[in-house]
Amino acid sequence: MKNNMKNEKSEVPSMQKISDVTSVISHQLKTPLAGIKSSLEILSSGDLGPLNKEQQEYVELTLGSAGKMISLVRDLLDASRIDENRFVLNPGKSDIAELVGETIKELGSFAQAKNTRITLNRAGTIPPLMIDGLKVRQVISNILYNAIRYNRGKGTIEITLENKGDHVLFSCKDSGIGISDEDKKMIFNKFYRSSRVISLAPDGTGLGLYISKAIIEGSGGTIGFKSDEGKGTTFYFTLPIQ
Ligand SMILES: Nc1ncnc2c1ncn2[C@@H]1O[C@H](COP(=O)(O)OP(=O)(O)OP(=O)(O)O)[C@@H](O)[C@H]1O
Ligand SMILES: [Mg+2]
């Protein structure tokens, strides 16, 4: 007993150990979670027989939870790869206007539930970009999800996509709670969430912008924001046109 206590005290885990454990757990969760999701999708499709309304609702609810866990594991894996300089992007020809359109559609019902209106403006023809489409979509999704989640009732979100000659500029202007001057220095830090946001939306890891910055900078672009506390925030990023 005495010995055990002594061991516990001397075994203070280092940041490296925490990162290793996170990485191992994330890897071990990834495959079974994908299995759970695909089984639920088969059940939900009705291919194994029709579900009654209540059964369908439970399957959809569980699918939603599985989706959230998959995103969390993806974010933890991405963050540990960034920390270890092992974060790899796979560029290919990608239509960014399509990625933006898909993300708006995907988050449309969440915006509606929050009484928030999203508009999209396009300036100029946007050519295909050489980017990792899946990863850039992850950035757009995080920025838009933040804009909806940290908005206020009857809020607005204006998304703009512009051809600036040698680069494309994406911006997302919301009418939300804004970011204080103190928080402005920290929001790209790993796991950082403002105290205001923690009380408003407790679920979240603070990994979204940390990963977004790595994706955009790794694609040759820049990412930033302007914000007035209490009035709203505009996030933007650029991506090069080759
Ligand atoms: N549109 C916004 N309006 C106000 N604050 C924002 C906005 N976007 C980001 N923030 C601030 O930046 C912090 C970091 O954002 P980030 O996307 O990295 O994490 P998160 O949204 O809290 O969690 P996660 O994206 O991991 O689920 C947020 O917690 C919030 O304090
Ligand atoms: Mg986020």
* Domains recognised in the chain with CATH numbers: 2-83 (1.10.287), 92-240 (3.30.565.10)
What are the pLDDT digits (tens) for 173-183?
999 999 999 99
Q: Which residue has the tokens 């809020």?
A: 155
Rounded to the nearest angstrom, the distance between the alpha carbon of 51 and the centre of ligand 2 is: 34
Alpha carbon of 79 to those of 97, 165, 200: distances in Å?
Answer: 27, 32, 24
157 lines ligand 1 (CB under 6 A): no
Q: Which residue, among 102, 140, 104, has the nearest Cα to 239 in the 3D structure?
A: 140
What are the pLDDT digits (tens) for 94-134?
999 999 999 999 999 999 999 999 999 998 899 999 999 99
Amino acid 16: pLDDT: 72
Strands (E), the chain: 92-94, 117-123, 129-131, 156-163, 167-174, 223-228, 232-240
Confidence of residue 2 (pLDDT cuts 50, 70, 90): very low
Among protein residues, the one whose CA lies closest to atom 9 of ligand 1: 146
Rounded to the nearest angstrom, the distance between the alpha carbon of 2 and the centre of ligand 1 is: 45
Among protein residues, the one whose CA lies closest to atom 28 of ligand 1: 193
Question: How far apart are the two ends of the chain, measured CA to CA in Å?
Answer: 66
- Note whether 212 and 236 are within 8 A (CB): no
159 lines ligand 1 (CB under 6 A): no
Atom of ligand 1 nearest to the CA of 206: 19
Query: Of the given ranges (17-21, 56-60, 76-80, 215-219), which has the lowest mean pLDDT?
Result: 17-21
Ligand nearest to the CA of 197: 1
Q: Which residue has the tokens 């204080």?
A: 180
Helix (H, G, I), strand (E, B) or coil at 115: coil
211 lines ligand 1 (CB under 6 A): no
Distance from C-alpha of 102 to C-alpha of 75, rounded to nearest angstrom: 20
Rounded to the nearest angstrom, the distance between the alpha carbon of 191 and the centre of ligand 1 is: 10
